[in-house]
């Protein structure tokens, strides 16, 4: 068991390294001189030259890369070109915001998605089923940024039930969480329904029913646990992608998370921030997947054997 976990963890290291390399290479393909944005309208060659030296921008690429990796391992993600502030500090400050949004979205997604899916699976082909599945279809097809915008418009501007955008207490988190969680909810609904239908046809369910167990016990005790594996996978992967920052939603709602931080950095060519955030996000995403994998290993011993090729 421990072996399995260690193997999985080791498996992620080259992936992370690969991410760092690719990001680094991409950075240097981007045109635009970041030093220019650090100074104002009036500056001269001497200032630029000095700054470039300080930031080691004139060193060879491999050397810059080695220096970067060395720093990263020590937890130093460098300093933003624009604000001069520490990237790792900013990430740690903004990450809780993303985490809050991710948790809220996931709660909404799980509650709505699972409920819809289970209810649908109990009465397949009924009107309720058709409506729920239609809703789910729209949920996975509507562009997430448009859904966000529609929520801002209808709930925030027209009905004025909640503040349209901005960061703050619970009233500010509801709309972005719904917008973000909707897609996962829809996906989960479809998945739950499909898996539940499969499971409900199994022999052990029929046995439980023949034993005259109450229906809710049949579903919850015997049916539900067996659909956990695919559902947890989806929850895990989706949560991972939320943790790596929901760029579009954070932008629209002005949510100060790492997704928006990364987007603005890319648009401003703030190299250290871009590298830091992408690395951080990949880390989060990989971590989430790792946890899902380990969970698999605990729940389904068969997976452990295949661990090597995962």
Partner 1 sequence: MVNSRTRRSTVFSKLIRDKSSILGIIIIAIIVLAGIFAPVIAPMNPYTQVLEFRNQKPGFTGDIILFRLKPNLPVQTIAVTSIINTGEMVQYQDQLGRVFEIEKTRLEGVKEKDWHKKHRYWLGTDNFGRDVLSRLLYGARISLSVGLCASTLSLLIGIILGAVSGYYGGVLETFIMRFTDIMFGFPTLLFLIGITAAFEPTLTVVFFAIGCVSWPGMARLMRGQVAGMKEREFIKVCEVLGFSRSRILLKHILPNCFAPMIVTYTLGIAGAIMAEASLSFLGLGAQPPTPSWGIMINAGKDFIHTAPWVSIIPGIAIASTVIGFNLMGDGLRDVLDPSMKK
Partner 2 sequence: MKKHVLFIKHTLIFISIIIVGCSNINDESRLTIAISADIRGFDPAMASDIRTGEVISLVYDHLVRFGNGTELLPSIAKDWSVSEDGCTYVFLLDPSARFHDETYISAQDVIFSIKRVLDPSGQSPQTWLFERIVGAKKFLEGQTKEIGGLEAINDYTLRIEINKPFAPFLQYLAMPSAAIVNPSKSDKIRNFPAGSGPWKLDYWEKDGELVFLRNDDYWGNRPKMTGLKIRILTEVLTRSAEFEVGNLDIFNIPAIEMLQWRQKKEWKDKIFSIDDLNIWYIAMNCSRPPFDDIRVRKAMNLSLDREKILKLLLADTGILASGPVPPLLLKGSPPDPYPYDPLRAIELLKNAGYDNGFQTKLWAAGGSEIFHVLEAFQSYWGAIGIEIEIMRSDWNVFKTAVRAGRPDLYYLDWFADYPDGENFLFPLFHSSESMTKRNRYRNPEVDDLIERIQLLPNSSQRDSLIERTNRVIFNEAPWVFLWHGQTNVVTQLKITGYVPKLIFNSERYADIIRE
Catalog residues that contact partner 2 under the rule CB under 8 A.
31-34, 36-37, 39-43, 47, 50-51, 83-85, 90, 92-94, 96-97, 99-100, 152, 156-157, 163-166, 168-171, 252-254, 256, 267-269
CB atoms within 10 A of CB 276: 28
Q: Taking the complex as a whole, how short is the minimal distance between the CB of residue 174 and partner 1, in angstroms?
A: 19
Q: What's the min distance (Å) between Cβ of 135 and partner 2?
A: 28
**Between 21 and 92, whose beta carbon lies closer to partner 1?**
21
What is the closest distance, in whole angstroms, from the C-beta atom of residue 104 to partner 2 in the complex?
A: 10
Report the residue from 55, 109, 199, 248 that binds partner 1 according to the rule CB under 8 A.
Answer: 248
- Please report whether residue 247 would count as binding partner 1 according to CB under 8 A: yes
Residue 166 interacts with, from partner 2, partner 1, none (CB under 5-8 Å by kind) = partner 2
Instruction: Please report whether residue 10 would count as binding partner 1 according to CB under 8 A.
Output: no
What mask, x for binding partner 1 by CB under 8 A, covers residues 88 to 107?
--------------------
Q: Which of these, 135, 164, 169, 134, lies nearest to 150 by C-alpha position?
A: 164
Q: Give which of 38, 40, 43 is closest to 81, Cα–Cα.
A: 38
Residue 102 near residue 242, CB atoms below 8 Å: yes
Which one-letter DSSP state was computed for residue 7?
H
- Taking the complex as a whole, the smallest distance from the CB of residue 26 to partner 1 amounts, in Å, to 6
Residue 43 touches which of partner 2, partner 1, none (Cβ within 5-8 Å per kind):
partner 2
The site partner of 124 among partner 1, partner 2, none (C-beta below 5 to 8 Å per kind) is none
Written in H, E and C, the secondary structure of 51-107 is HHHHCCCCCCHHHHHHHHHHHHHCCCCCECCCCCCEHHHHHHHHHHHHHHHHHHHHH
**In angstroms, what is the minimal distance from the CB of 117 to partner 2?**
29
* Only segment of 41-49, 200-208, 214-222, 279-287 that touches partner 1 (CB under 8 A): 279-287
Contacted by 241, from partner 2, partner 1, none: CB < 5 to 8 Å by type: partner 1
> Applying CB under 8 A, does 163 fall inside the site for partner 1?
no
Which partner from the list partner 2, partner 1, none does 16 bind, CB cut-off 5 to 8 Å by kind?
partner 1
Distance CA 77, CA 271 (A): 11
How many CB atoms within 10 Å of residue 235?
22
Put residue 84 in one of left, alpha, beta given phi > 0 → left and psi -120 to 50 → alpha: left
Size of the site for partner 1 (CB under 8 A): 49
List the structure tokens of 282: 């990949």
209/268 with CB nearer partner 1 = 268
Binding residues for partner 1, per CB under 8 A? Answer: 11-12, 14-16, 18-19, 22, 26, 29-31, 137-138, 140-146, 149-150, 152-153, 157, 191, 194, 230, 241, 244-245, 247-248, 251-252, 259, 262-263, 266-267, 274, 277-278, 281-282, 285-286, 289
């Amino acid at each position: 068991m421990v072996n399995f976990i260690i193997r999985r963890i080791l498996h992620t290291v080259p992936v992370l390294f690969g991410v760092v390399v690719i990001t680094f290479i991409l950075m240097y393909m981007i045109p635009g001189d970041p030093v220019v944005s650090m100074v104002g309208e009036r500056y001269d060659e001497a200032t630029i030259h000095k700054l470039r030296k300080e930031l080691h921008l004139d060193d060879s690429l491999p050397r810059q890369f080695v220096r970067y990796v060395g720093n990263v391992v020590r937890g130093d993600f460098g300093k933003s070109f624009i604000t001069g502030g520490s990237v790792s500090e900013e990430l740690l400050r903004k990450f809780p915001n993303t985490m809050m949004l991710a948790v809220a979205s996931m709660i909404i997604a799980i509650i709505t998605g699972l409920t819809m899916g289970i209810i649908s699976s109990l009465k397949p082909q009924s009107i309720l089923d058709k409506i729920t599945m239609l809703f789910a279809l729209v949920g996975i097809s509507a562009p997430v940024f448009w859904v966000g915008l529609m929520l801002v418009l209808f709930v925030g501007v027209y009905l004025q039930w909640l503040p349209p955008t901005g960061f703050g207490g619970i009233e500010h988190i509801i709309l972005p969480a719904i917008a973000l969680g909707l897609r996962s909810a829809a996906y989960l609904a479809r998945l739950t329904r499909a898996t539940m239908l499969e499971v409900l046809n199994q022999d052990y369910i029929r046995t439980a029913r023949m034993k005259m167990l109450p229906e809710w016990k049949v579903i919850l005790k015997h049916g539900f646990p067996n659909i956990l594996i695919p559902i947890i996978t989806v929850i895990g992967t989706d949560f991972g992608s939320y943790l790596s920052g929901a760029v579009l939603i954070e932008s629209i709602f002005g949510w100060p998370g790492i997704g928006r931080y990364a987007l603005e950095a890319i648009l401003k060519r703030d190299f250290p921030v871009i590298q830091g955030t992408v690395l951080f996000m990949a880390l989060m995403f990989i971590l989430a997947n790792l946890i899902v994998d380990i969970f698999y290993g605990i729940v389904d011993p068969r997976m452990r054997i295949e661990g090597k090729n995962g």
